[in-house]
Amino acid sequence: MTTRIEIQVEEAGVGQRLDQFLTAQPEIAAENLSRTRIQALIEAGQVLLDGAPAAQTKTRLRAGQRIVVDVPDAAPAQPKGETIPLNIVFEDDFLVVLDKPAGLVVHPGAGHETGTLVNALIAHCGDSLSGIGGVKRPGIVHRLDKDTSGLLVVAKTDAAHQGLSKLFADHGRKLSLTREYLALVWGAPDRAAGTIDAPLGRHNIQREKMAVVPQERGREAITHWRLLESFGADRDKKPVASLIACQLETGRTHQIRVHFAHKGHPLLGDRVYGGGFKTKTGQLPQAAQDALKALNRQALHARALGFDHPATGEELLFESEPSADFARLVEALRAG
């Protein structure tokens, strides 16, 4: 089925680009169509200008021209919906904020074709997904590693996806965005707070890993951190482990894990970037050793997520308490 939208160009629209004009029309906004989607419809011949397919997205308009936009129904998502329990923190017609458990992969890929967050959201949202780029799928604008728990926002409409993508691309520099994580790291930084500014790129040899690389070979990566608490003492009377709060200024793959490993403080339980610190486990109290073994993943949790709603402009801030296994490890470290 196709939805047909008919618009007459008034004096106010004279001289405007076709794609910009259409994006600003209330009839288009009602269908949750972004400018990117409008451009795709023009290029596909789905936009008629005085009865003929519009030639270009940048065509300038004249008074009295008649525009017809044919919007095909969004195609079914390629991944299939699956009934997987989700902890929904907030949901409206535009987006979903959820508290992701550790162990849940966000997006289907090699080795994870099913059982992902995307599969779960397709089933959960159903017909409320209006289509991202013409396909009924949730709009993923940022991800959490499989074994990282915490808050994640996902778009349900094309327009919300565009707005959130712009927000996350800005990294909170000009637009409102807050992302805070809790991390348990080996040892302790030598000061109370700081910033790690080190570009990240693919590891030279182990291509599945990220690494700090020269600026010309990597992407900017900035992590702000503050020390919340330190635990125990090693043979040199230095803390064995610490609880760190991290705020991301950029959001690169494995950013927090790589940055702290680079500084000599890899995350507890991180088998990829903290393998050289396995022997340190023996310096933990037995209860903490048991709790770390039970955690069986990197000790990282996305605690806070705040942003301006892409459709309403409302300031939103969500907070999540760490999962029980993370909290048990913290308590065992304190008790030791």
The yes-or-no answer on residue 145 being catalytic is yes
User: % helix / strand / coil in the chain, to the nearest 5?
Assistant: 25, 30, 45
Those residues with Cβ within 8 angstroms of residue 12's Cβ, 6 or more apart along the chain or in another chain:
none
Q: Which amino acid is at 98?
A: L
H or E stretch covering 327: helix 324-335
Q: Which amino acid is at 306?
A: G
Catalytic residue among 19, 99, 145, 147: 145
Cα gap 41→69, rounded to integer Å:
8
C-beta of residue 305 within 8 angstroms of C-beta of residue 179: yes
Placement of tokens 């992407």 in the chain: 219
Cα gap 277→269, rounded to integer Å:
9
What is residue 121's three-state secondary structure?
helix
Alpha carbon separation from 209 to 142, 200, 251, 273 (Å, rounded): 18, 10, 16, 8
Cα gap 306→318, rounded to integer Å:
6
What is residue 252's three-state secondary structure?
coil
Cα gap 259→225, rounded to integer Å:
11
Residues with active-site annotation: 145
